[in-house]
Amino acid sequence: MKILVCISKTPDTTSKIAFKENNTKFDEASVQWIINPYDEWYSLVRAIELKEKDASITITLVHVGGADSDPIIRKALALGGDEAVRINAQSDDTYFVAAQIAEVAKQGNYDLIFTGKETIDYNASAIGGMVAELLDLPYISLATKFELNSTTAVVTREIEGGEEVDEVALPAVVSCQKGVAEQRIPNMRGIMAARTKPLKVVEPTPIEALTKIVSYELPPAKAGVKMVPATDMAELVRLLHEEARVI
């Protein structure tokens, strides 16, 4: 069985976010980059867990980005990926990224494609669905449990107010979230092995982007804290009603 795991590069949540060129570009200076947690902690680790049960499984990582992404990909290989493909392109367009991944998936004839439920910077939650559509494959999102049964998979997914259990024939695309696997960190053996694992760089397929970022804007700064005497309930109610507008 061949599993393709989609890997994204995102800013660490502790990084200070700023923009440049009249707020049209993200300022990457001094930003600490990490593997998108939903890709690393859940989709990749679940693929590794499946391989630990069946040694015949191979795990290929796919990433759309420049050479500056290589350290991120190597970390994913250190966790347990077997090989990686980096599509040498930079784009903020979701369709462009999904189309590039789909092209790699077509050539590799994968049985299962894992994505994280979303990236922590754009939160679009769109790549998995787009890849599935481009490949004409079934898609199950928001997986909290994933069990493999030969040529089918049983997926528990989160829905409004509860859970839903689906059975799907492979090949399929599944997006993963918290619950589907336990977080891991690379060990020294994995780090050393990752240095020699194949990282193939391919040029992007000519695809026209459908969207572009016009400008960025930071959210409004948080207002200061207002202290209300415990005995002045009327003032507390007034503030909640007129200023916070939560009642």
Summary mean pLDDT of the chain? 94
For strand 152-159 and strand 139-149, is the pairing parallel, antiparallel, or unpaired?
A: antiparallel
Averaged pLDDT, 202-221: 92
Cα distances (angstroms) measured from residue 197 to each of 43, 51, 110, 151: 20, 17, 19, 28
For strand 112-116 and strand 152-159, is the pairing parallel, antiparallel, or unpaired?
A: unpaired
Domains of the chain: 2-215 (3.40.50.620)
Rounded to whole angstroms, how far apart are CA atoms 211 and 208? 9
Are the CB atoms for 110 and 101 separated by under 8 Å? no
> How does residue 224 score in pLDDT terms, banded at 50, 70 and 90?
confident
Asked if omega into 11 is within 30° of 0 (cis), the reply is no
Averaged pLDDT, 175-195: 92
Rounded to whole angstroms, how far apart are CA atoms 136 and 172? 9
Positive or negative torsion for Cα 9, 108, 211, 89? positive
Rounded to whole angstroms, how far apart are CA atoms 87 and 70? 11
What confidence score (pLDDT) does residue 222 get? 79
Give 34's DSSP letter.
E
Are the CB atoms for 39 and 73 separated by under 8 Å? no
What confidence score (pLDDT) does residue 150 get? 87
What confidence score (pLDDT) does residue 223 get? 75
> How does residue 26 score in pLDDT terms, banded at 50, 70 and 90?
confident
pLDDT tens profile 87-146: 999 999 999 999 999 999 999 999 999 999 999 998 999 999 999 999 999 999 999 999
